[in-house]
């Protein structure tokens, strides 16, 4: 394993040329826009205006970069993972280590920007939705840092399977509100956060966690996350003298993927591959692959691909990963898919967990289960492209929060009773059976579940 020396901070990521989308009203082709009650339009307009002024303000830019460097620990390194790559058809695999950020994922990049924006518009209270809890933890962290009141909405189902992150948020001084409506997961947490916002919009800013929602969130969150790809592109060029053949990232709402894709969008020879949560398999209907298995519609303020039934009702998504368990996707991903600039593939729970175990045991890195979907994509794509390929994978988060779920999946720690949050893992995985030893590169496949 080799790690590059830190590159200088990519100053003024926010000042770099942006893609030519969205248009002035937030449309990415036929996607995006604003499908919200009129009561929120003034707040969204104010936010758009304040953000556009802030992103070119040298005082803000200096503060944003100082926090990236001194607080988050940016730039995050690139790590080559040769023992993992032996399972990827011999392709070389580089990880962008967003898991090493303060709070443990890429979510902090966006939250620091939006928290500074909250200060700038003079509001004292922030609300956020969270699925896996990573965005909630990041928002609670930034709120503590900047002295803001913080309320996080989290589906009751998710508060159980991510109990550790609930405790972290509470330690940081945030109020965590379990949401008991609908499917009790991320989509319902977003509904509840919007209800709070429309009621308290005079005092409250909504710190949205992903590149979805009404304009300006998809564009603004992209801008705050693009530092991932801006850094990674420079780092890969510096150490390899070339660009990667493909850039891979998991996609739920899609903020880490947009974050690493954006810098590479103009590089037509670099494949951009988003890995959606395939759950039990797209063909079973129990999945969270909005682009692969959904159709265009309107949810949470924007038009995008989504999982819906014949009546236009949102269909519940299924994934072992709470952070990807969302029936929609950011509108820019839908657009990148339609114009053919990015491709999206499903990764099943089993494939993701196999890649999860593989990275743990070959490289000593415990990834977030979300990020493990991108790793599984690298195993598959590496085998397709062969030994000359250079793959860049966004390791968007670390797996500390997933230890219980993984233990249940692999049948580890049988002496302790599983928590409620492990039900899906126990049901879908090996339950009480311990795993077999890790196979060698020749016998391991992601398809048949034999990695452990």
Partner 1 sequence: MTVPPNRPRTGLAERIGAARAEGRSALIAYLPVGYPDVPTSIEAMVAAVEGGADVVEIGVPYSDPGMDGPTIQEAVDVAVRAGTGMADVLAAVAAVADAGAVPVVMSYWNPIERYGVERFATDLAAAGGAGAITPDLIPDEAGEWISASDAAGLDRVFLVAPSSTDTRLAATVQACRGFVYAASTMGVTGTRATVGDTAQVLVDRTRGVGSDVPVCVGLGVSDGDQAAEVAAFADGVIVGSAYVRQLLDGHGAEGVRRLSEDLAAGVRRR
Contact residues for partner 1 (CB under 8 A)? 25, 33-43, 45, 181-182, 187-188, 191, 194-195, 198-199, 201-202, 297-301, 308, 310-314
Dihedrals φ, ψ of 107, to 5°? -60, -30
- Smallest gap from Cβ 283 to partner 1, in A, equals 22
Distance of alpha carbon 452 from alpha carbon 433, whole angstroms: 11
- Smallest gap from Cβ 185 to partner 1, in A, equals 12
Active site residue 319: no
Which position among 65, 86, 129, 404 bears the catalytic label?
A: 129
Distance of alpha carbon 351 from alpha carbon 279, whole angstroms: 9
For the chain, the helix, strand and coil percentages under 3-state DSSP, each to the nearest 5: 45, 20, 35
Distance of alpha carbon 202 from alpha carbon 77, whole angstroms: 40
Distance of alpha carbon 279 from alpha carbon 287, whole angstroms: 4
Active site residue 123: no
* 3-state secondary structure at position 129: strand
- Smallest gap from Cβ 293 to partner 1, in A, equals 16
- Smallest gap from Cβ 44 to partner 1, in A, equals 10
Token look-up 């992150």 returns 165
- Smallest gap from Cβ 215 to partner 1, in A, equals 10
- Smallest gap from Cβ 154 to partner 1, in A, equals 17
Distance of alpha carbon 143 from alpha carbon 171, whole angstroms: 12
DSSP 251-279: ESS-HHHHHHHGGGTT-TTSEEEEEEEEE
DSSP 351-412: HHHHHHHHHHHHHS--B-HHHHHHHHHHHHHHHHH-TT-EEEEEE-BBSGGGHHHHHHHHT-
Which position among 107, 123, 187, 401 bears the catalytic label?
A: 107
Which position among 187, 396, 401, 404 bears the catalytic label?
A: 396
Helix H or strand E encompassing 247: strand 246-251
Active site residue 149: no
- Hey, which residues are catalytic here? 107, 129, 396
């Amino acid at each position: 394993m080799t790690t590059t020396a830190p590159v200088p901070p990519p100053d003024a990521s926010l000042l770099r040329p942006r893609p030519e989308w969205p248009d002035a009203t937030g449309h990415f082709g036929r996607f995006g826009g604003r499908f919200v009650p009129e009561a929120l339009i003034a707040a969204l307009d104010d936010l758009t205006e304040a953000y556009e002024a802030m992103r070119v303000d040298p005082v803000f830019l200096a503060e944003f970069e100082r926090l990236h460097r001194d607080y988050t620990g940016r730039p995050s390194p690139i790590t080559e993972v040769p023992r993992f790559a032996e399972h990827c058809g011999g392709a070389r695999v580089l990880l962008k280590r967003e898991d090493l950020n303060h709070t443990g994922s890429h979510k902090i990049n966006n939250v620091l920007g939006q928290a500074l924006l909250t200060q700038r518009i003079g509001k004292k209270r922030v609300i956020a939705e969270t699925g896996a809890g990573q965005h909630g933890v990041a928002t609670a962290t930034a709120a503590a840092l900047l002295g803001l009141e913080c309320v996080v909405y989290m589906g009751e189902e998710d508060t159980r399977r991510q109990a550790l992150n609930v405790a972290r948020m509470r330690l940081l001084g945030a109020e965590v509100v379990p949401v008991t409506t609908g499917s009790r997961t991320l989509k319902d947490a977003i509904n509840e956060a919007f209800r709070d916002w429309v009621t308290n919009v005079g005092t409250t800013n909504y710190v949205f966690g992903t590149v979805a929602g009404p304009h300006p969130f998809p564009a603004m969150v992209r801008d705050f996350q693009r530092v991932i790809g801006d850094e990674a592109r420079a780092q890969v060029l510096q150490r390899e003298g070339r660009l990667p053949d493909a850039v891979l990232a998991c996609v739920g709402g899609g903020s880490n993927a947009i974050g690493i894709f954006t810098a590479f969008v103009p590089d037509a020879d670099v494949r951009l591959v988003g890995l959606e949560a395939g759950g039990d398999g797209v063909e079973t209907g129990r999945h969270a692959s909005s682009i692969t298995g959904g159709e265009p519609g309107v949810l949470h303020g924007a038009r995008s691909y989504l999982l819906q039934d014949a009546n236009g009702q949102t269909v519940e998504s299924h994934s072992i990963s709470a952070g990807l368990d969302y029936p929609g996707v950011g509108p820019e991903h839908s657009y990148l898919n339609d114009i053919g600039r990015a491709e999206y593939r499903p990764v099943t729970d089993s494939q993701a967990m196999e890649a999860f175990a593989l990275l743990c045991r070959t490289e000593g890195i415990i990834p977030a289960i979300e990020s493990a979907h991108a790793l599984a994509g690298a195993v598959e794509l590496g085998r397709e492209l062969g030994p000359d390929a250079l793959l860049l994978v966004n390791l968007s988060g670390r797996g500390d929060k997933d230890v219980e779920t993984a233990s249940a999946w692999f049948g580890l720690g049988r002496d302790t009773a599983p928590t409620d949050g492990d039900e899906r893992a126990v049901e879908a995985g090996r339950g009480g059976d311990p795993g077999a030893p890790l196979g060698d590169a020749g016998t391991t496949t992601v398809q048949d579940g034999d990695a452990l």
